[in-house]
Amino acid sequence: MSFFKKLKESIASKTEAVTKQFKDGLEKTRKGFVEKVTDLISRRKKIDEEFYEELEEILIGADVGVNTVMNIIDDLRAEVKKQKIEDAADLQPILSEKLVELLRGDEDNSLHMNPDGITVILFVGVNGVGKTTTIGKLAHRFKQEGKKVLMAAGDTFRAGAIEQLEVWGQRVGVEVIKQQAGSDPAAVMYDAVQAAKQRGADVLLCDTAGRLQNKSNLMEELNKIYRVIKREIPGAPHEVLMVLDATTGQNALSQAKLFGEKSGVTGLVLTKLDGTAKGGIVVAIRQELNLPVKLVGLGEKIDDLQTFDSEQFVHALFAGLIQENEEKDGNESPEN
């Protein structure tokens, strides 16, 4: 069975709506990356040094990351030698398979929920990456699942941050626990935890400041928040999600390295994937940071925040090729 056929079968159990969201959300990356690979393969039927160089450029252009690209090219060279591949078209499924492997990782990318009480999820990340929108969309998702949700407006420093979260609260019908702008974020978290306990909440989603005067101030602030939450709910926070803007490509990776190493991040959220042709950044991040991508933003709609799924991701990228392969398989006689 071909790789593409296996890939299609393995995601057949997932809903069509989710598959469509991944396809629609990754359209720019598909055009900027997969179509270039397809074009390269149809132009250069022969696998030579120039072919590898051009493929390298395409992968780097999609923000897959230089180190990861070098490893992919080395692996492809080894496969070509091992399988004695001569036709460039035979490399496509191997490249796709390699991407699935790189994205999959060993760890579970689902959100860790508290089985014995309130689940506390903390959101970190610089301003402008879509943190508040992500919190609002996730609140909506949990509410759709029948959970009682509260949101905490812990970004008390950015002008308009509290109001922005309140707008989301009204939109999705979720209460926002807040104080005045400029107040102590840890005090907001204390209030939010007490409110969550009193109201019998299942999930508490906490916004935090994206930028204080300097990085050490920000880390101090986060540590204070952790201490307050942990004291009130042992084992919390259950997730610390760092939100990154996929359209910033390698900058998102640098942010994650700088910010993530000291802030106890447990997973990543990549927003605005639908707005970039550089969706390869997911591969770079997955390879260069030992952190799972847990959620991806695939559009503007309220339900466009999806659990990251490596197979869905690659399937959406190579959708056109999968169809071509199916047609080709269908046209071949059983004897062939």
Known binding positions for GTP: 125-132, 207-211, 271-274
Q: Are 311 and 11 in contact (CB under 8 A)?
A: yes
Task: Name residues whose C-beta falls within 8 Å of residue 77's C-beta, 6 or more positions apart in sequence.
Answer: 52
> Tokens 């201490």 label which residue?
227
Token pair, residue 115, equals: 């089985």
What is the β-pairing status of strands 293-297 and 305-307? antiparallel
| CB contact burial 293-326 (16+ within 10 A = b; e otherwise) | bbbbbbbeebebbbebbbbbbbbbbbbebbeebe
Distance between CA atoms of residues 271 and 315, nearest Å: 19
Token pair, residue 44, equals: 């250069």
**Among the residues of 129-249, which ranges form H helices?**
131-144, 161-172, 185-198, 215-232
Residue 239, amino acid? E
Separation in Å, CA 192 to CA 136, 226, 312: 16, 13, 36
- Binding residues, as ranges, are 125-132, 207-211, 271-274
Residue count of the chain, please give it: 336
DSSP per residue over 236-273, as a string?
--SEEEEEEEGGGTHHHHHHHHHHHTTTT--EEEEE-G
